[in-house]
Structure 1
Amino acid sequence: MSKKAEYEKELAKLSEIFTDVEESKRKLVEGLCEDAAFLKAENYVLKETLSKTGMVKIHPEHLELQKPIEASKQYLKNVNSYAVIVKTLNGVLNKNMIEDEDELSEFE
């Protein structure tokens, strides 16, 4: 799969998740969804590279000499950023669900 295909797949998934969220909130998180899709696509490419190179370069003769691969540093940064975005998006979804439950509780 290409990076663009991975981006589009993730964006479509997030868009589907936010289908039932009210329009104003959906517009508010639109940029975060795009950022999450971008990070997911970037990490898709980095992960492919890292599966071949590993995350740490180890000296063949002196195993105690190790050097992190730059791609691994970026991968971890992206994972952390992606996690923060997903947590934020989840907070919006949970708040939306709580508000929906409050509206339904009026009819009980």
Structure 2
Amino acid sequence: MVRQFEQLYTHMLPAIDSKKNEFHLYGYPTVTNEAIWTYCVQKKWRKKDILAMRMHEMAHDILHVSSAEFMTFTQIEEQRSSDWFSAINSEELQILLAPVQSKVVIQK
């Protein structure tokens, strides 16, 4: 099945490359062919039998991806996959998450 996906990717490469160039023109220079393909497989076609789709349907879907929906998908995926506390060690995390101890000052 992986081989069939690779063949589909190769067949769809002209459409994917065209969409990538369009995104670059709109000011998104970091968009890659692989990212567009991943978006289509995971979002656009997640409920479809990709291997049964016709080539013209796939090309149509790729060429009609809007920059807004693509960027929303990539931002959500980045938030899901990122480890927000990877830059701090466990000791720092414990200090950060420890309950605040308030000081009570009694005036006489």
Q: Could you state the TM-score of these two structures normalised by the residue count of structure 1?
A: 0.27
**Larger of the two Rg values belongs to structure:** 2
Structure richer in helix, relative to its length: 1
